[in-house]
Copies of this chain bind each other. A is one copy, B any other.
Amino acid sequence: MRLRIINPNTTVAMTHKIGEAARRIAAPGTTIVATQPADGPVSIEGHFDEAISAVGVMEEVLNGEKDATDAYVIACFGDPGLLAARELTRAPVIGIAEAAFHMASLISTRFSVVTTLSRTGIIAEHLLEQYGFRHHCRRVRAAEIPVLDLEEDGSSALARIIEECHRARDEDGIGAIVLGCGGMADLTETISREVGLPVIEGVTAAVKLAEALVGLGLGTSKHGDLAFPRPKAFIGRFEGYSNLTRER
């Protein structure tokens, strides 16, 4: 199967890291295509960044539709554009936040999230509510590191994440920790070893969920509210979206 992982920000190094993490975990028959939008923010740290990034996510899904894609992963912890992306394809589309929440709820009764900046906590909270995991998550914690610090050698980012994970383990009454940023895709093992409980990261979780759905022959339902967009005119820069052919 051909799995397109869309890093919604435009930092190529992060796409590379995410792609590598995905390849390490993917099944033998899975080809990972890691990509990022041509246009958009270098990191996603709030609602505005996320709203803009969603356009790039859409474009990468449309590109994927021309590339025989079997499944998509949206590799930013806010799952930007998730439901919109689902409208564009019959393939499954998985967000890394939802993937991590689902997996965490299967191996623990309660988990905490450790994310980058506290200002993005509200995004995680809204997703937990929409997806149904509000009561499974004890607390959304922030290590207070900007996303791109995760890309810098010698940054103290890892140490601060581990420190926050220790607090989560000791104070929250949890069985597992969810890492709340796509840029943490390579840290799972290190943190899990340090902290001594299961650590779930969304990119890898989403790859395996996508493989699972494809294996089941399941894709996004085209019956009801995730059906292909109604064909219509778009104008200006977005003219290209006019009358998208429904059956790809």
Task: Note all chain B residues with C-beta closer than 8 A to A126.
Answer: 130
Q: A41-B241, A118-B173, A234-B41 are in contact. Are A103 and B200 (CB under 8 A)?
A: no
Q: How far is the CA of A102 from the CA of B100 in the complex (A)?
A: 12
Q: A212-B212, A218-B200 are in contact. Are A48 and B229 (CB under 8 A)?
A: yes
Q: How far is the CA of A55 from the CA of B236 in the complex (A)?
A: 12
Closest chain B CB from A132 CB (angstroms) = 3
Say yes or no: B235 contacts A42, CB within 8 Å: yes
Closest chain B CB from A69 CB (angstroms) = 16
Say yes or no: A106 contacts B92, CB within 8 Å: yes
Q: How far is the CA of A85 from the CA of B180 in the complex (A)?
A: 23
Told that A52-B84, A103-B216, A106-B213 touch, could you supply 9 new A-B pairs with CB distance under 8 A? A40-B238, A46-B229, A52-B58, A109-B226, A118-B225, A126-B130, A169-B223, A209-B209, A212-B212
Residues of chain A touching chain B, judged by Cβ–Cβ distance below 8 Å, are: 10, 25, 27, 37-43, 45-52, 54-55, 58, 81, 83-88, 92, 94, 98, 102-103, 105-110, 118-122, 126, 129-136, 146, 169, 173-176, 196-198, 200, 204-205, 208-209, 211-213, 215-216, 218-221, 223-227, 229-230, 232-239, 241
